[in-house]
Chains A and B, each alone.
Chain A
Amino acid sequence: MAEFLAYLIAGLATGAIYALAAIGFTLVWQTSQTINFAQGEFVMLPAILILAAVKLAGLPVWAAAILGIAAFIALFGWGFKLVIVDPMIRHGVLPLAIATMALSIIMKEGAKDGFSAEAQRFPSLVPQETVSFLGISISLQHIAIIIVACLAIGALQWFVTRTKTGRQMQASAQNPNVALILGIPVAQMVMLTFLINAALAALASILISPIYLAKFSNGEVIGLFAFIAAIVGGFNQVRGALAGGLIVGVIDSLAAAYISTSYRLAVPLVLLVVIILIKPEGLFGRKEERGV
């Protein structure tokens, strides 16, 4: 039992990170009906930018963090929408999805050539200590990740359902034409979605890099798992992404524990296929009516 609890908490912590990244998929999906194949790299890069500001510009950590995050949100929230999404979205979703694949190559190679091919330590906001509970050790970092991620997602959910701006943002994403008629500033709202996506990615980056170490290739794994999480939870719902992330994190952790470790990766994928076959809109997704 204690053993199971240990796997569960480790899985929840990892899953919380997947959830943060998965929300990015759902936000971009809602606004542009496309899949951002660079989402994993979005989580990789902020930590690298912060470290670059520390090592190359000699800034103190807090200043580097502010600068790094601001630069990231400007480049990959605002810039991403303006330079990549806007010119291509009119031509259908496929060229855009392909462009994000190319973008992921640029981000990965840029981080490697511009900064380092080596993994780097990343400062942690939380002490690297463990507490004992029911005979198992629980890392404070894991607890912090779960809490911060859930708070951030909760805040986002509150924002989109309870505030005027949030509802306008949601309306713009779901039906831009109607939103436009209702006088909602759709362009700004869509931009806001992309900024929130970048901010959440930066948050995930800061939470995870102390444990994963900052490295140019980290996005590959995070991107894949976040994608699985988004599908499992449902592509069109914020809460779906949260649930999907936690489920995939826990399943992965339990798979490592109780199933052949060399086939560990297969378990979340099989889950994904099963979900698509029995509940294609995802566990918590909204059903999209078959249109004529």
Chain B
Amino acid sequence: MATVLEVEGVRKQFGGITAVDGVSFTVEEGEILGIIGPNGCGKSTLFNCILGQLAPTAGRVRLDGMDVTGMNPEQMNRRGVSRTFQLLQVFPELSVRENLILAGQEHQGTMLSRLFGARDAGLTAAADRMIGFFRLQHLADTRAGGLSYGQQKLLDAAMAFMAGPRLVLLDEPAGGVNLTMLGDLKERLKAMNAEAGATFVVIEHNMDFVMSLCTRVVVMAEGKVLAVGTPAEVRANPAVIEAYLGH
């Protein structure tokens, strides 16, 4: 299996505070990697460093072996890396279908062809397939702002897959989602992984969710990697137990 993403010694300082302190790990094709850790351990900052929202103070990020450190989010996206954000980020004024078309349109044709070509950039069918996959058919023409929180989370995740990405980074996909919806979400993500062969990295607080979804887990504490392994290995790691249960 090929290595998709390689993070090597990434460090991020804000003034005197080191939020991420020399983190290294790899993501292999087809796997679901979880990143867990207590609040403020630097998970989201790490994501932002990988995706170019923030410039890392030190370290390298490689995508399929190519150095992409410091590239901006648009460039990363066009190289096939999608993400979701910790806080919900759909476009409330657009319908569900429009949200999905928007998520895919920049990967179709050129600026000019997008202006003069089809209004939907030829993506209606693809969007409807995605809507079907996430079981949002009855809501396809509803304003995204009018959806329930859990439905918006599903849409948020669906948007990340719209462009057929090589790698998807999900930042707390389960946060604030109720139990029924959570099962749905997990099941759909697993299906996405199995059917489309999509590779994910997931940041999550919800242990059960991570442990049952992911193939491999990175545990972070105070900006550093504490442990890496399968869910079972990590669960048995004394350092992890100390970090989570010691307090």
Contacts and interface: CB of A to CB of B under 8 A. Distances in A.
User: Within the complex, are A and B direct neighbours (CB within 8 Å)?
Assistant: yes
Interface string A265-292: 0000000000000000000000001101
Contacts of B85: 292
Nearest to B86: A292
A292 B47 CA distance: 11
A288 to B, nearest CB: 13
B54 interface: yes
B6 to A, nearest CB: 23
Contacts of B14: 289
B81 to A, nearest CB: 16
Contacts of A290: 54
Interface in B7-52: 14, 44, 48
Interface of A: 289-290, 292
A289 B54 CA distance: 10
B76 to A, nearest CB: 14
Interface in B74-114: 85
Nearest to A291: B53
Contacts of A289: 14
Query: 5 smallest A-B Cβ distances: which pairs?
Result: A292-B53, A292-B48, A292-B54, A292-B85, A292-B44
B175 to A, nearest CB: 15
Contacts of B44: 292
B17 to A, nearest CB: 12
A178 B54 CA distance: 25
A289 B85 CA distance: 18
Contacts of A292: 44, 48, 53-54, 85
A273 to B, nearest CB: 25
B60 to A, nearest CB: 21
A290 B48 CA distance: 12
7 contacts: A289-B14, A290-B54, A292-B44, A292-B48, A292-B53, A292-B54, A292-B85
A292 B53 CA distance: 7
Nearest to B85: A292
A292 B169 CA distance: 15
Nearest to B73: A292
A63 B20 CA distance: 64
Nearest to B48: A292
A47 B65 CA distance: 70
Interface in B101-136: none
Contacts of B54: 290, 292
